Structure 1
Amino acid sequence: MTKQIIGGLVAHVDAGKTTLTEALLYQAGQLRQLGRVDKGSSFLDPDQLEKQRGITIFTHQAALDYQKLHLTLLDTPGHIDFAAQTEQVLQVLDYAVLVISATDGLQGSTRTLWDLLAQYHVPTFIFINKTDSVGADVPAVIKQLQSSLSAACVDFTGKTPTTGATAEAIAMQDDAVLESYLANDCLTEQQVQSLIQQRKLFPCYAGSALKLTGIQELLDGLAQWTVETPSTGDQFAARVFKISHDDRGNRLSWVRVLSGQLVAKREVLPGEKADQLRVYNGSKFSIQQSIPAGGVCAITGLTSSYPGQGLGQATTAPQPRLQPVLSYAIKIDNDNPRPYLAALRELADEEPQLKVEWLSELQEARVQLMGTVQKEVLEQLLAQRYGLQVQFTNGQILYRETINRPVEGVGHFEPLRHYAEVHLRLEPAPRGSGLTFTSHCREEVLSHNWQQQVMTSLGAKEHRGVLIGAPLTDVQITLVGGKGSIVHSVGGDFREATWRAVRQGLMELRAQKGCVLLEPWYHYRLTVPQEEVGRAINDLQQMGADFKLTESGAGPLTTITGSGPVATMRDYAITVRNYSRGQGQLECVVDGYRPCHNAAEVITDHQYDPVADLPNTPDSVFCAHGAGYPVKWDQVPAMAHFPYQK
C-alpha cells in the first residue's frame, strides 16, 4: 500500500534547497532533465522574479512516486525576509527536510528554522548539501548539529540504523528504546520510525544535489523511515497555508486536508464554495473532484480565506511567530491612487503581514516588511505584475509596548439608556507571548453572556500602548469584575467599556512608569578579517549590541556573534562590506522584542498624546440627571460602581 506524505524543504538561503528538490524529482523519474537554479531552468522556481534573483520567493508544490511512497514536496522560500511564508507551510507538513551547506554549516536563519520546526512539532530529516565543494567537512557539520541543535542528529549516510554503533547512538535518545536495545542488541524499524516521528531522532544524510550524490540514499530513507499521518476522523477539516493568484487573476487558496475529504462545488466557508480543486506539479495542474485526507490542493472560488485559517472542523492556527519589524511608506504621485491600493491589497491578500494602510492626508500607503530584499521584491512585483512604479521611503522601526507591573483598569460606558462597567487586571506576560485573555469573574457578579461580550471585545481590535501608540504585547488581561443592566445593557456597551478599561489601566501604569517601550532586536553573525576585529567591536558597542568572539585565530577571518537593536544594525551590512573591502559578511535574523535602548528619545520624537487618541480613549462616560457626561481616566476608579482594587 502506498503511503501519502507531505514533506517540506526548508533551508538558509543558498544552501541548495531548490536544487535538492530538482535532484529528488529527477532521481525518482519525475523529471527528464535536471534543471539549474543559476540558469533559471529549475522546475520549482517558475516565477520570473525567482528566475531573475535565483532564489525561491514563493512556496511551490511538486510530487513524486518512489517505491511505495507518494511524496508531495513543498519547496519553501529560503531568504529570512520570506520566512513568515515558510512558517505557514510548517503547519501542514508531515515531515521536513532541513538542508544545510557542508561549507557554511549552521547559519542564524537555520537556527530560526530549527526553532520553528520544534514549535510546530515537525519531524525532521537533515541533508548536508554541497559535499563536492572545496572546504566541505561533513563530520564537522554533524558535530556542530549535535552540539548546537540536538544530540539526536545522527549520521545515517552509509549506515545501518538498526544495528551496530548507529543503532546504539539512536537508542541513547530514549530510555525505553535503550532498554530494548540492550536486551536485543538491535532496533526494529518501527522503533526508529517512532523516534523520528516524536522528534527524538533526526536522521542526517549527506551529498551533492547538483552532482546527484546522496540523493538515492535520502529517497530510500524517506521511503523507509516515514509514517503516514492517520486521519483524525470522517468529518471534513482542512487548513489554508497560502494564498496566491494565477496568470488569469484567479484567487487560489492552498489547503491541506486533515480529515474527511474535500469535494468540489461544496460550501467550505459561509456562502463560499470550492469551485475547482487543483493539484499542482510545478506550474501545471490537474483538476480533481475530491481530495482525500492527507492531500494538498489549491481551491478557486474562495474570497475570504487567509493563511492559517481552519476550514470545516479545523481550528485556525495562531498568528505566525515571525512578524515584520519595519514599516515603509510608498509615495504615490498620482491623482488616482486606486490602482496602487488595489494592487497592494491583492499582494496583502497573499501575504497578510504586509498590513497595507492608506493615509489619504499624506497621499501615501504604508506596508510592513521584514527587510530590504522583501522591499525590492515588492517593487518588482508591482512593476511586473501590475505595471506600477512606486518609490519607497526609508523604513521605520515597528515598536511595541508592554508593562512591567500589574494594574486594574476600569471602563464605564453609560450614556443615556446604555450601561456597562468592566474591570480588567493587566499583568506582565512572558516575552513573545503576545496578548492573552481570560476571566476570573463569577457569573453571579457578571452574567455569562456579558462576560462573553467582554472576551469577544478584547480580541476584536489591536490594543495600543500609551507611550507612542504602538501595539500592545506580552500582557495577560483578566476579567475580574463588572456590572450590567437588564434594562439598558447591550453588547456594544461592553465593547466600549472593555476597550476603555484596557486604556485606563495603561494610563495608570504610565503615571507609575510601569509602561515599557519595546524594539526589535537581531541575532547576528559577523565575519570580518582579523585586522578589522577591533573596528567591528567598537562599532557593535556604539550600536548597543552585545558580542562574543566565537572563532578566532583559525584563519584570516574572525566570527563574532551576538544580538543588537534593529534600529542601529539594519544598515550595518553595507558598512561591513566597505571597511572589509568585500571580505566581511553580516547575517541578521530577527530575534524578538526587547526594551528599547533609547526609549526616551523615541517617545519624545513621536509626541503621542494618548488622551487625544479618541478611537482609543482611556476616559469613561457616566450618567447623571438624565444625560451622559465624560469622566477623565484618573477619576474613573473613584466613581466606579463595582468595587475597585488598587
Structure 2
Amino acid sequence: MAAQAVIGLLAHVDAGKTTLAEAMLHVSGAIRAAGRVDKGASHLDTDAMERARGITIFSAQAALDWKGAHLMLVDAPGHVDFSAEAERTLQALDYAILVVGANDGVQGHTETLWSLLERASVPTFIFVNKMDLEHPGREALMRELRERLSAGCVDGAALLAGSEAALEDAAATDEAALEEYLDSGMLAASTCARLVAERAIVPCFFGAALREEGVEGLLDGLVALIAERTWPEAFAARVYRVSRGARGERHAWLKVTGGILRAKDLVDGRGLRGEAWTEKIDEVRRYQGASFETVAEVPAGQVCAVTGLSQATPGCVLGAEPVGEQPVLAPVLSYQVIPSEGLDATALVRALRELASEDPLLGVTWHEQLQEAHVQLMGEVQQDVVREQLRERYGMEVSFGTGGILYRETIAAPVEGVGHFEPLRHYAEVRLMLEPLSRGSGLEFGTRCAEDDLDRNWQRLILTHAMERDHAGVLIGAPLTDVRITLLAGRAHLKHTEGGDFRQATYRAIRQALMCARERGDCVLLEPWYRFRLTVPAENVGRALADLARMAAEFSSPLAEGGQARIEGAVPASEVGAYALEVARYTGGRGRLSLAFSGYRACHDAEAVIAAEGYDPEADLPHTPDSVFCSHGAGFTVTWRDVPEHAHTEVDAARLRPYRPADAAFFSAGC
C-alpha cells in the first residue's frame, strides 16, 4: 500500500494557508487550475460565507497524490473566532503544516495553534509563505521560528539536500541520531522521519504559494519525511466536525483510526462525557472540496463524511477509539440573541441548540426570568456566521445585543453539599463533595459511594444528572468550572423514587454546596485573559506602558527591535475592547497588537463585577439551593442553611470507596 497521511493546514489569518492548499492541489495535478481566495474561487472554501469573506470558516478536505504517496489535506480555519473548529480538526491529523507569513512573522494566534499542535502531539512542518514580499530575511525568520515556536526548527530543503549544518541541527535533538551522524556523517531517511514523527525536529520550507514557488519542495519534503504507520484491526474512528448538506442531511466528518468503516454498519458511539449510543451509518462519502463520491468503505488512516449518525457531535468517538481530552479553547463573549418581531422564542432556542449540537463551543442559554436567549461566541465574525445560518437554514432573522464578557466561577476549597427532594410520593437524597481543580480542567465527575449503600444504577443516574447541564455559580450566576464533583452518599425509596427525583436532589446538592462555599468566602470569579504582543515605535513606549498598567496587564520589559519596541504579556479580556484600533491611531498606523486566548484567571476586579451584576442566588428559583422534605403527608421547603440538619444520609469515611471517574467504563452495562 502506498504511503498515506492526513495533513492539516493551519495558520494565522492572511498567512496564505488556503492559497497554499490550492497550489499543492494544482502542482500535484489534483485540480486543473488553482483557485483564488481573493476572487472567491478557492476549491476548499466551499461555503458561501467563506467565499464572500475570503476566509476559511469550516474545515474542508481534498486529496492529492505525489511521488507514490497519497496525501489527504484538511484546510482548517485561520481566523481567531474559529479557533475551536481548528482545534477539533487536529483530532483527524497525522501531520500538520503551520503556515507563517514572511511579512508578518509569528503572530499571537500562530503561537496558540502551535500550543494546540504540541498538546495534541501532531508532528508539524512549517511553510514560510509570501517570501516574494518584504521580509527580514531567511536567517532572521529561522531565528524567530526557533525562538517563538521550537528550537527543533530546521531548514527542510537543506536537510533533504544533505547539508552538513542542517544534519547537525537535526542530529543534536536526539541521542541515537547523534550517534548515527557521528558514525556515518549522515542521517538515514527513516531517522529523519522518526525525528519528525516524535516532534524532535520541525522541517521548515520557504516559498510564495500564490506564485507556486517552493510548493514542489514542500511536497517532496512531506513524502520524504512522513513515516509509515500501522493501524489497529478493530474498527475505530473519531468525529471532528458535524455539518449539514444542501438538503439538510446531517454529516459527521471523521477519521478512521482502526479497521474499516463500511456503509450500513451499526456503530457504537460515545460522547466527550462517556454517554453511549448505537446508530447505523447510511452513506460514506469521500470529499474533494465541494464535490464527493459515495463509497462502500473507507480503511483506517483516511478521512470521510458519513450520514445517518444523528447523535454524533464533534469530539465523539466510534468503536474502539478512546474518548479524548476536552477542548482547550473556549468562547469569551456572551451575546443576547434578539428575535425579529413575530419570531417564536421557543423555535429560536431550538434552532440555536441544533446549531450548538454541531459546534459544542457555541453555548446557548435560555434565561427564564428574562425570557431571553444568549449565545457564547469567540467573537463578532462568528456572530455573523450564526446569524447567516439562522437565516438560511431556518428562515429566522435575528440581531445581537452588545457582547459581554463570559465570566466563570469556581471554588477555592473543598465543600460538601446535600440535596433532598421529597414532595408527596417522591423521594431522593444526594450528598456530594465539590473540590477545586487546576485552571482549564473544566468539570470532572466521579463517585466514592459504596454500592452496598447505593445501587450502581442509582449512582449512574445521579452522575448523569450532574453531567447533563451547566451549573450556575452563586456570585453572578456564571457557569461553574474547574471543579471535581464526587458522589459520597445517596438514598432512594423502594416505592416512591422516580428518576426525576434524583435530578432535583442532585441539582440542589450542587447548589447547596456552592452557597456554603460562598458563605465561607471560597467562591472565586474567573475571567478570560489574552496573551498579547504589542509592537510600537520607540517614541510611543511610554504611552503603551501606561495603557497596559491601566488595563491591569502583566508584561515583561520592552525589547528593542530596530526603531520599534515589543512588549509581551497577558491582559484581562474585559479591558482590551477596541485597543487595537487605539494603537493604530496613536502610532500613526505603525503599531500592532496581536491577541490570543490564554485561559481563565481570577477576576482582577471581582468586587466591581459582582456589585454591578447584583445577582441574588437565593432568588434564582430555577437554580434553588433549598430542599423539599415531607412531614405528615405534605412537602415543605427547608432553606439551604438548614438542609444538613434535616438530611437522612451521613458520610462514613470508613465506607467510602476509592475515587472512580464517571467514564465510559462506569456507565457501560455489566461492569
Could you say whether these structures have the same fold, taking a TM-score greater than 0.5 normalized by the shorter chain as the test? yes
Which amino acid in structure 2 is aligned with residue 453 of structure 1? L
Q: Distance in 2 between matches of 1:462 and 1:592?
A: 19
2:266 match: 267
Q: From the superposition, tell whether residues 106 and 553 of structure 1 become closer, same or farther in structure 2 (CA, over 3 Å).
A: closer
Tell me the SS of whatever aligns to 2:22.
helix
1:213 match: 213
1:582 match: 589
1:223 match: 223
Shift of 1:527: 2.5
Shift of 1:168: 2.8
Q: Distance in 1 between matches of 2:505 and 2:393?
A: 46
2:383 match: 375
Q: Distance in 2 between matches of 1:3 and 1:613?
A: 59
Contact 2:280–2:309 (CA<8 Å) still a contact in 1?
yes
CA RMSD of aligned residues (A): 2.7
Q: Distance in 2 between matches of 1:411 and 1:214?
A: 65
2:88 match: 88
Q: Distance in 2 between matches of 1:363 and 1:404?
A: 33
Tell me the SS of whatever aligns to 1:622.
strand
Shifted more, 321-330 versus 303-312: the winner is: 303-312
Contact 1:162–1:189 (CA<8 Å) still a contact in 2?
no
Matches within 5 A, 1:176-575: 176-234=176-234, 236-268=235-267, 272-337=279-344, 344-345=352-353, 347-357=355-365, 365-382=373-390, 389-486=397-494, 489-552=497-560, 554-555=562-563, 557-575=564-582
Shift of 1:18: 0.8
Identity in percent: 50
Which amino acid in structure 1 is aligned with residue 93 of structure 2? L
Contact 2:159–2:167 (CA<8 Å) still a contact in 1?
no
Contact 2:46–2:290 (CA<8 Å) still a contact in 1?
yes
Residue 619, structure 1, aligned to residue 626, structure 2:
yes
Q: From the superposition, tell whether residues 345 and 163 of structure 1 become closer, same or farther in structure 2 (CA, over 3 Å).
A: same
Shift of 1:9: 0.3
- Post-superposition Cα deviations, 1:344-389, rounded to whole Å, max 9, x if no partner, equal 4554344332234456886754222111222234445555676655
Q: Distance in 2 between matches of 1:316 and 1:423?
A: 28
Q: From the superposition, tell whether residues 549 and 49 of structure 1 become closer, same or farther in structure 2 (CA, over 3 Å).
A: farther
TM-score normalised by length of structure 1 = 0.92
Residue 78, structure 1, aligned to residue 78, structure 2:
yes
Which blocks of at least 5 consecutive residues in structure 1 are unaligned?
none
Q: Distance in 1 between matches of 2:45 and 2:20?
A: 13
Q: Distance in 1 between matches of 2:486 and 2:350?
A: 39
Shifted more, 202-211 versus 442-451: the winner is: 442-451
Q: Distance in 1 between matches of 2:448 and 2:388?
A: 51
Q: Distance in 1 between matches of 2:506 and 2:350?
A: 34
- Post-superposition Cα deviations, 1:605-627, rounded to whole Å, max 9, x if no partner, equal 22222223233222223334444
Q: Distance in 2 between matches of 1:220 and 1:205?
A: 11
1:637 match: 644
Q: Distance in 2 between matches of 1:87 and 1:530?
A: 36
Which blocks of at least 5 consecutive residues in structure 2 are unaligned?
269-276, 654-671
Contact 2:427–2:492 (CA<8 Å) still a contact in 1?
yes
2:144 match: 144
Contact 2:92–2:303 (CA<8 Å) still a contact in 1?
no
Say which of 598, 601, 612 aligns to 1:605.
612
Shift of 1:472: 0.6
Which amino acid in structure 2 is aligned with residue 598 of structure 1? D
Contact 2:364–2:374 (CA<8 Å) still a contact in 1?
yes
- Post-superposition Cα deviations, 1:315-348, rounded to whole Å, max 9, x if no partner, equal 4444422111111123223213478667645543
Q: Distance in 2 between matches of 1:155 and 1:215?
A: 15
Q: Distance in 2 between matches of 1:335 and 1:453?
A: 39
Aligned residues: 644
Q: From the superposition, tell whether residues 343 and 579 of structure 1 become closer, same or farther in structure 2 (CA, over 3 Å).
A: farther
Contact 2:340–2:397 (CA<8 Å) still a contact in 1?
no
Shift of 1:155: 1.8
Q: Distance in 2 between matches of 1:491 and 1:337?
A: 31
1:14 match: 14
Q: Distance in 2 between matches of 1:166 and 1:582?
A: 39
1:110 match: 110
Contact 2:160–2:221 (CA<8 Å) still a contact in 1?
no
Shift of 1:30: 1.4
Q: Distance in 1 between matches of 2:279 and 2:431?
A: 40
- Post-superposition Cα deviations, 1:379-413, rounded to whole Å, max 9, x if no partner, equal 45555676655332210111100011122222233
Q: Distance in 1 between matches of 2:367 and 2:633?
A: 40
Tell me the SS of whatever aligns to 1:302.
coil
Shift of 1:592: 0.9
Which amino acid in structure 1 is aligned with residue 552 of structure 2? G
Q: From the superposition, tell whether residues 380 and 484 of structure 1 become closer, same or farther in structure 2 (CA, over 3 Å).
A: closer
Shift of 1:496: 3.0
